[in-house]
């Protein structure tokens, strides 16, 4: 059974990995070399921390070899040691994150998203609801490097403003902070990209699903989980309806 200690551990480890990444960045370097070093070092820290503190749990990490053992485990930590590697390698960009989530018997039960460059950790332990929505056009966070065609079509349909950002964790928690109203992605993500952001967003009362409205399922044999919607709950119906119209039109072609 997950405990509040699991949530605190997720936040503690995410913050520690973030501190390590800041130190590496301050030591110099940039680009892919820095990103690779950061991925490797943060992964080692998280894996070591989980093995020491939760030795009976399985781990699914973007930076470690996957094994079938996790599929029969009751508890699986799903981690992305450095989400937004491209942005991390472009100092002083701040839109990169550390993701730590705990899946237990079918559900995400704890998690944390650290934004080290902003000195912020969003966790499931003491979630805060997003601030009241700002009047004006709908704002949708979108991938800075891979903006999906779907989201560009949505922006036209809903007269929304697209706000490009790096890490998925940064985009999802931007909804929490009231910087945007929604985050929509379609294509090319895995469980480690969204597990911790979704755990944190749900704990704060946000709506999370796949773009067809179906549940996001984790610890699957194939960790590909290519799309998601994270938004203020009052916007979910409008967003999903607009996405369904687009998907239907694409299916008719």
Could you list the residues known to form a binding site for Mg(2+), using ranges.
62, 80, 82-83, 193
Region of 213 on the Ramachandran plot (φ > 0 left; ψ -120 to 50 alpha; else beta): left
Q: Which residues are annotated as part of the binding site?
A: 62, 80, 82-83, 193
Measure the CA–CA gap between 160 and 184, rounded to whole angstroms.
12
């Amino acid at each position: 059974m997950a405990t509040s200690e699991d949530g605190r551990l997720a936040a503690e480890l995410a913050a520690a990995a973030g501190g390590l990444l800041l130190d590496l960045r301050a030591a110099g370097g940039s680009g892919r070399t820095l990103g690779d070093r950061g991925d490797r070092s943060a992964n080692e820290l998280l894996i070591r921390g989980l093995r020491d503190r939760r030795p009976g749990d399985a781990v699914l990490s973007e930076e470690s070899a996957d094994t079938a053992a996790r599929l029969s485990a009751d508890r699986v930590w799903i981690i992305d040691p450095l989400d937004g590697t491209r942005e991390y390698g472009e100092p002083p960009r701040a839109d990169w994150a550390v993701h730590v989530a705990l899946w237990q018997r079918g559900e995400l039960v704890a998690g944390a998203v650290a934004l080290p460059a902003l000195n912020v950790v969003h966790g499931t332990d003491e979630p805060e609801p997003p601030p009241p929505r700002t009047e004006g056009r709908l704002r949708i966070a979108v991938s800075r490097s891979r903006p999906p065609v779907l989201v560009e079509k949505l922006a036209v349909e809903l007269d929304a403003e697209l706000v490009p950002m790096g890490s998925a964790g940064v985009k999802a928690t931007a909804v929490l902070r009231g910087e945007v109203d929604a985050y929509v992605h379609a294509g090319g993500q895995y469980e480690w990209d969204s597990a911790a952001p979704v755990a944190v967003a749900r704990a704060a009362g946000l709506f999370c699903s796949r773009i067809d409205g179906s549940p996001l399922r984790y610890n699957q044999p194939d960790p590909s989980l290519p799309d998601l919607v994270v938004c203020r709950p009052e916007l979910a119906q409008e967003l999903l309806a607009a996405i369904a119209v687009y998907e239907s039109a694409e299916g008719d072609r």
